[in-house]
Each structure stands twice: as C-alpha cells, then as structure tokens.
Structure 1
Amino acid sequence: MSRVDIVLPCLDEAEALPWVLARVPDGYRAIVVDNGSTDGSAGIAAGLGATVVTETRRGFGAACHAGLSAATAPIVCFCDCDASLDPGLLSRVVDPVEEGTADLVLGRRRPTGPGAWPAHARVGNVVLSRMIRKRTGVPLHDLGPMRAARRTALLDLGLTDRRSGYPLEMVVKAADAGWRIGEVDVPYLPRAGRSKVTGTWKGTWHAVRDMRAVLR
C-alpha cells in the first residue's frame, strides 16, 4: 500500500497527464478521477500506471470526493491535473502532516509568469481568502488546490459540496473542528490546455458563487 495517495480530478487533460504522472513521487499513488473526459484521458492515465476512478456526476467536488473515497493511504493529497502544479513538490504539503505539526496544509500558489494566473482568477481568490480569514480566523492567503491531510480525518469532516465549493468547505469544517491549518509556497505554472473552472470570468464567478454559498 502507498503511504500517500494523490487525488487528481480530471476533465479532458490528455495533454497534461504524461507530465503530471511522470512527476509523482516514489511511494505515492496517483488516483486520476475521470469526470466525463472525451479526449481519452482515462485510457492515457491507466496506461501510465495511475489508478483510474470514474465519477459520472460532474463537478470538481464530486471528482475530489470520489478520489478521497477510493483512497486507502494514511495521507491523501489533492492536486490539479493540468500541469499548473508540480506533483514532485507534494512533499511540501505532506511533510508537516506526516510529522504531526499540522492537520491540513495548503499550497499557496506563487505564479512563475504572467500567463500562470489570470487576473480574474486572482481577484476571485483574494476575495474568498479574505472571507475565509474573517470567517475562521485562519491566516490563509490562497485556497489553492494542492493540499494534504490524513484520510480518515478528511472523511470524518463529512464534506457535502460537490461543486466548486468543496475546497472551501474542507477548510471551513477543518477550522471549525480545531485543526491546525498551515500554508506553504508552491510555484504556479501556466496550465496545459484551457481551464474548465477559472479560465474565464464566468467560470470564476461560478466558483466564487459556490464558495460563498458554503460560507453562508
């Protein structure tokens, strides 16, 4: 059994998958959750040695939770599957959890260039980060998708959102449960292909709307 499972929500990421899966650290298992891809992503992932889970209900949260439910390792990571985040750096979020100094660690995205993080997505993230600091008192600057926690503890949170609010719900419920929540810097790269969530103003608005509903 792997010591860490990586949940990789996937919707049409055939272009990025080879790079992403090649960067998975030794001792980690990649769980690619196919969320309705039409570009052969599931077959590519399976051919590259990943465990593939199919989630027919569309939604970022639905894909993430399907991966969490399929995980068996003591620690579970989440990471985007679009090559914007390097799985080879997951130890930055995993180590504090393994060492027992934190219960949930998030990667704070640091753009490597002007094309890495569109302005509208940054604005949405700033708004949500301020809201969550006010709601929880946790001094987070980014609700980034790269994160790690213990599997059984995550399941015990009883996360219910299956859309874009899932990452925020995780932080809010963890804070309410008294978890020690940390943040570490991770480089943020230009993604491969077009974003399905924050690549447009409309997508960003939908994500913000879902997350505000969680805070309410």
Structure 2
Amino acid sequence: YRATATPFSMLPGLSPTTASSTARAAQLLCLAAFTPSALVPIAPGSEELEATAIVNVLRRAGWDVTLASVGLEDGVPVECARKQLLIPDVTLTSPGVLDREYSVILLPGGMPGASNLAASAPLLDRLKQQAAAKQWYGAICASPAVIFAGAAPELLPRYSTCHPAFVKDLKAAGCVEEQISERVVVDEQWRCITSRGPGTAIEFALKVIELVQGKDASEAVGAPMVL
C-alpha cells in the first residue's frame, strides 16, 4: 500500500481560497514546531564580536545554538582575537557534537582564529558533510578566504564575500566579483552565506534567520534591537 497525499485544494468542500489559507496555517504550525539549530565553532584567535553576535542573535530567535571550541580541552575558555575569553558550551569533539544535524554551521573570522579552524580536520569533514547534504553553512571575515578558498576549496561558493583584506584570495580562487564587496552574500545554489567582518555580523545572523525561518522571523528579532 502506498499512501498518497491529497493537496488541500482537492479536498471536498474546500474552495481555493480556503485551501490556500489552510495550507498557510499548516505551514505556520510546522514552522512553530521547528527549532532551528546552529553549530558555531571557535578557536584561539577567533573574532569575539562576530562569535558573540552570531550566537546572541540566533538565540534571540529561539535557536538551539552550540558554541564549540576547537583545539582545546573541555572546560578551557577560548582566548579570542582581542583577548576576550569566551566559555564554549562544548568542544567540537565532545560526544555527539559532530554527529548532530544542524540547520546551519557558521564560522566566525578573526586571525589566527580562522587559521586555527582551518587546521581542524574534523571541522572540515563536518562542513563537507553539511555541504553535501545541501544544508546551510557560512563564514564571516577572514574565514571565507582562509577556510573556503584555502583549506577546503570544494566549499567555496561561486558568490562570496569576506573581509576586505582577504578579497584578493577570493578573486584568485575564482569567486565572481559581482557581489564580492556586498556586506552579506547568499549563494542559494551552494546553500552558503558569507559576510565581511565585525560590523556586518548582526546583519549576517539576521540573514541566516531569514533563510531558515523566513523574513517575518528575522524582522521580529531585528526590530527590538533598534537596528
């Protein structure tokens, strides 16, 4: 026996208008029941403003965000690019972290943080799995160039951006120059989102919310932040 779903518009007694409203209501119920998740890896030298902005904005939207340290023992704070200490939730190699499914994996930038993330084979492998599954992934600041154009070029989308100091690396790797100076760039085909630096981190995170949950959800988070 093979079950076949009947479109709302074909159900007896439902007009096209009623069917459309019913379908929209069902969609909203599904969205309400869906809790998006994000993995945000950080390493010594990661840009703390970017990392905290990403985590903070996504959690404002009710996301399940995992802040994972890379290259450190469990319980050890991460000293970031400007010497601020961040306490991660887990390490990247803690049980179950790499095995989970995530709505998106997002990489803060900063140096040498981006290089330290790029040196993590488990992280690169997990990013490749994310891309192969056509799930969203992204990076900001130095990370698109250092990680996507450098350590794992198979992850570099056709359309991308990064910190101005690293744009030459994206161009050399073959990125289209058309959007390379935009504050936030989305490559729908690659399911990849990139951005430029600390000053664009909130926009970056809000765009992630829009991509996963829709524009209404993104605006609901952004409005009380007085952007």
- Which structure has the bigger radius of gyration? 2
| Structure 2 length-normalised TM | 0.33
Q: Is the helix fraction higher in 1 or 2?
A: 2
Q: If the length of structure 1 is used for normalisation, what is the TM-score?
A: 0.35
* Higher RCO, Cα 8 Å, sep 6+: 1
